[in-house]
A and B are shown apart, each in its own frame.
Chain A
Amino acid sequence: MANANREHAGLMMMVPLPVLTSLVASLLLAGPMKHDVPKPGRPQLVSVTPMPVAMSGEMCEMVPASTSTILQAALQQDRAALAAAARPAARKEADQSTVLINRLPLRVIRDPRPTFSAVAVDNIRDEIILQDENTFQIMVYDRKANTPLRAAFTEPKRVIGGVETKVEFNCAIYVDPQTGDIYAVNNDTIDTMTVFSRNARGNVRPDRELHTPHRTYSISVDENTQELYLTVQHPPQVVVYRKQASGNEKPLRSLVGNQTHLEDPHGIAVDPKHGLMFVANYGNVAYYRQNREGTSGGRPTVEPGTGKYFPPSITVYPLKANGDVAPVQIISGPKTRLNWPSHIFVDPEHQELFVANDTDHSVLVFRTTDSGDVAPIRVLKGDKTGLKNPVGVFLDTKNDELAVASMGNHSATYYPRTANGDVAPLRTIRSAPPGTPALQIGNPGAVAYDSKRDQILVPN
């Protein structure tokens, strides 16, 4: 009998009302039935055929109506009636009642482990400093730390993090070689570059703050002139400040305009020795208004409808470029293998440029004199490298080592400077057990539900 009840409940959900009414009427007319003794010559339920799957379950829902042409047409025809039936009562302003929902979520998708978005090495004090863009921390490790294979993770020496720090979507880092001060760039929510003294730890206020343009991404510093360079993704520009700038101080100069070929600029590296500035571009761009010299009330503004896509590129400028200056070299094209190039680092001594090549899971090395569609001189890539979505890169010239931060697997890895091909790292710092993928959810500004696949879509 219990089984029969379950069948009946299922029937109620799947069979349209008129059919169900008819069935119930038939059953009632049939009078009381003994379960195992069919009465010949009387109406009886002999079988149940479920409705097609596509019609089950969601028959009462109006939202997915557009999935069915028939239902959509019905919706449009009967909109007034549906609207009247679905309309909740209006309230007057005097009605101030709110039902407070106090409950935990049924499910939470969250990666609780640090995910590294940028790296710097302090080779004077023998420390490696990593930006954790997942839990918003700056993590300091011994430079020679190497997480044992059986260890879950390596404990950092110091951590800076918490609401007082203003560290959020911290995507770039610079360490002052003289003082050890840490410069942390926050991408687009806090719009502030924060500077911490070397020994800062915990939830502490920054020693210095500089209000930066919305969507600032990367940083490079010319120690000779004490100037710091920041890329701004959009409207695209490079802004140059005094290294000690703070508060609402204005930039000394800006590289900005339609001749610059700055196209969603990401990484930046300066080479004072050769007087050059290198910028990595994703290729997304819209053009500035021509008659306002690219600014509106002091802020750059772009023209509607001028958006374009270009291939990713490395653009090279004179170090002191100011205003709408065209690049002196452009590295771009299929041979380059560029695929969302992120942070970059220049080695003036060997005249080499290192590129963290995010979605190719590689580090590319170009000559700083390269231009056009050129192949990299070295490519660090493969299963042995441990690279997964590398976005941060730093060359430790004192120790002749390359440090890379991978967003995709909770790790930072070291290689010989000249590593080429599928080379295992010299050392690895992990914030999670080996092989643990990072979810890489970052600044999830929205969410959608894919009703066909029963999936949740999460954009960064």
Chain B
Amino acid sequence: MAHPQIAAFARLAKGTDTPARTLAGQETKLSRTMHDIRYSASRDEIFVANPFAQAILAFRGDVDGNQPPVRIIQGPKTHLIEADTLEIDDVNKEIIVPVRDEILVFPMEGNGDVAPIRIVHAPKNGWRPGGGVAVDPVHNLLITDGVSADSANRGERGEEGRGRNSILIFDRTANGDAEPLRVIRGPHTGLKGIRQMQVYPKGGWIVVAHIADGAIPEPQGAFVGVWSINDSGDVPPRWKIDAKTANGLKKPRGVALNPKNKELIVSDMRLNAVLTYSLPEMF
């Protein structure tokens, strides 16, 4: 991508409506490869990662233009490496960052060279996080996508994260060696390439942007799917929006929820577009 930016559009924007504000430029310390973004309502802040500089950036909620972050987590104590996704827990005030073989948890107000307050990793030949991550502070769950470590070591993960075929559900406070409470995986799930994830705690739903294979321009099997936090094993999603012309969707990569308006927001990397669906069934 030739031009990094974070654009903020009015919820009701459509077509070629221009963004209300954009964040871009040297002062922002952004890079491309922002594969996640989170908004904290409690702090009115925006969180993103810069994988190349191994940094977690927090911006004021109303940031606009070429403005710097208000806090940066970066340094030797952080364990950060190629972090391009993250989640925030607005209730417990934590930032959750999957990196390579670990999931790092930082205090939300962390600034500078901050050590993680928890590091979750797999026992030998266990799992490996893929990058999708979501927290359910009501049911106390940490949810990530991943692959088994042995298949990852065989190279099945691939350059673009292919093989991210499992939803792993942990206790939110897991620390150190941890096994998931439940795993959703198998041919009936349709999962092989998970990207951004969200949780809707009120309903107990896990929402997944499933790209199938990011290295194929228009892959088969892409969709947005919704599972229950209590699902386990080889079970299909409760609801599914397939990537197809009739749904206006090609290659979903990001998902966000707007419960107030019962809307599901999807970013599509093949269309370079943002699509908003009404999904009253889920809310």
Interface residues of A (CB under 8 A from B): 57-58, 61-67, 72, 75-76, 79, 82-83, 86-93, 95-112, 117-118, 133-136, 163, 166, 168-169, 171, 187-191, 214-215, 233-234, 236, 264, 282-286, 302-309, 311-312, 338-340, 342, 358-359, 389, 391-392, 407-408, 436-437, 439-460
Say yes or no: is B7 at the interface (Cβ < 8 Å to chain A).
yes
Instruction: Return the chain A residue nearest B237 by Cβ.
Output: A98
Measured CA separation A64–B137 after assembly (Å): 11
Q: Point out the residues of chain A lying under 8 angstroms from B160, CB to CB.
A: 189, 191, 214
Q: How many angstroms between the C-alpha atoms of A215 and B52 in the bound complex?
A: 11
Known contacts A63-B259, A460-B4, A460-B34; A110/B267 CB under 8 A: no
CA distance A107 to B140 in the complex (A): 33
Cross-chain contact B39 with A309 (CB below 8 angstroms):
no
B94 → A minimal CB distance (Å)? 11
* A171: chain B residues within 8 A (beta carbon): 1-2
Residue among A87, A98, A105 with max Cβ neighbours from chain B (10 Å): A105
Select one of A75, A286, A407, A450 contacting B3, CB under 8 A: A407
Pairs across A and B, CB under 8 Å, 6 listed = A83-B139, A106-B277, A190-B217, A307-B52, A442-B272, A445-B269
Report if A305-B54 is in contact (Cβ < 8 Å); known contacts: A91-B228, A108-B274, A446-B253.
yes
Report the nearest B residue to A302, measured CB to CB. Answer: B81
Flag B194-217 by CB within 8 Å of A: 1 or 0 each: 011000111111000000001101
> A188 to B215, alpha carbons, bound, how many Å?
9
Interface of chain B residues 3 through 56 with chain A (CB within 8 A): 3-20, 22, 24-26, 29-42, 44, 46, 48, 50-55
CB-based nearest A residue for B241: A101
Whole-angstrom CA separation of A13 from B121 in the bound complex: 45
Give the CA-CA distance A252 to B107 in the complex, in Å.
45
Given the complex, which residues of A lie within 8 Å of B274, measured CB to CB? Answer: 108-110, 441, 444, 447, 456, 458
Which of B71-79, B122-130, B144-152 interfaces with chain A?
Answer: B71-79
Q: Is the CB of A340 within 8 A of B26?
A: yes
- Once A and B bind, how many residue pairs between them come within 8 Å at the CB atom? 394
CB pair B215 A189 closer than 8 Å: yes
* Contact between A133 and B1, CB atoms less than 8 A apart: yes
Query: Do B9 and A109 have beta carbons less than 8 Å apart?
Result: yes
What CA separation (Å) do A40 and B238 show in the bound complex?
A: 57
Contact B278 A456 (CB under 8 A): no
Whether B53 and A309, one on each chain, are in contact in the complex, defined by CB atoms closer than 8 angstroms, is yes
Residues A109 and B31 in contact, CB atoms below 8 Å apart: no
Do A89 and B228 touch across chains, with their CB atoms under 8 A apart?
Answer: yes
Asked if B137 and A439 make an inter-chain contact with CB atoms under 8 angstroms apart, the answer reads: no
List the A side residues contacting B159 at CB < 8 Å.
191, 214
B271 within 8 A of A: yes
Question: Which residue of the partner chain, among B16, B53, B257, contacts A284 with CB atoms under 8 Å?
Answer: B53
**Contact pick for A305, options B22, B79, B138, B273, CB 8 Å:** B79
Distance, CA A221 to CA B261, complexed state (A): 53
Residues of A within 8 A of B232 (CB): 90
Closest to A310 in B: B53
Task: Assess the B196–A439 pair: CB atoms within 8 A.
Answer: no
Please give the distance in Å from B72's CB to the nearest CB on chain A: 8
Minimum CB distance partner of B7 in chain A:
A458
Measured CA separation A324–B130 after assembly (Å): 31
A89 to B278, CA, bound (A): 23
In contact, A87 and B230 (Cβ under 8 angstroms)? yes
List, in ascending order, chain B residues with CB within 8 A of A234's CB.
33, 51-52, 82
Given A98-B240, A305-B54, verify A449-B265 contact (CB < 8 Å).
Answer: yes
Choose one: B37, B66, B241; the contact of A359 (CB below 8 Å): B66
A448 contacts which chain B residues (CB < 8 A)?
A: 37-39, 46, 256
Alpha-carbon gap, A437 to B7, bound state (A):
13
Complex contact A441–B272 (CB within 8 A)? yes
**What separation, in Å, do the CA atoms of A439 and B62 have in the docked complex?**
19
Q: Which of A169, A236, A457 is within 8 Å of B8, CB to CB?
A: A457
B275 CB, nearest partner CB in chain A, Å? 4
Residue of A nearest to B245 (CB): A104
Tell me which of A64, A83, A86, A456 contacts B9 (CB under 8 A): A456
Chain B proximity of A427: nearest CB distance (Å):
22
CA of A452 to CA of B8, assembled, Å: 12
Chain A residues near B15 (CB-CB < 8 A): 108-110
Residues of chain A within 8 A of B179, CB atoms compared: none
Q: Cβ of B120 < 8 Å from any Cβ of A?
A: no
B contact residues around A446 at 8 Å (CB): 34-37, 85, 195-196, 253-254, 267
Residues of A within 8 A of B41 (CB): 64, 66-67, 451-452
For residue B12, which residue of chain A has the nearest CB?
A: A107
Contact in complex: A442, B229 (CB < 8 Å): no
A188 — which chain B residues lie within 8 A by C-beta?
1, 32-33
Contacts of B70-102 to chain A: CB distance below 8 A? 74-82, 84-85, 90-91, 99
A residues less than 8 Å from B188 (CB atoms):
93, 96
CA distance A64 to B240 in the complex (A): 25
State in angstroms the CA–CA spacing of A104 and B273 once bound together: 14
Partner pick for A458 among B9, B66, B260, CB 8 A cutoff: B9
Which chain B residue lies CB-closest to A456?
A: B9
Contact call A445/B36, Cβ cutoff below 8 A: yes
Given the interface contacts A90-B231, A107-B13, A441-B274, does A284 sit within 8 Å of B46 by beta carbon?
no
Known: A87-B229, A445-B254, A456-B11. A169 touches B79 (CB 8 A): no
Q: How far is the CB of B250 from chain A (nearest CB, A)?
A: 10
- A99 to B44, alpha carbons, bound, how many Å? 35
In-complex Cβ contact of B2 among A67, A117, A214, A453 (8 A) = A117
Given contacts A444-B269, A447-B255, A456-B256, contact A106 B276 (CB under 8 A): yes
A264 to B31, CA, bound (A): 8
Q: Nearest A residue to B274 by beta-carbon distance? A: A109
Q: Is the CB of A309 within 8 A of B201?
A: no
Chain B minimum-CB-distance residue to A408: B3
Contact, CB under 8 Å: A312 / B276: no
Determine the distance from Cα of A215 to Cα of B2 in the docked complex, in whole angstroms. 11
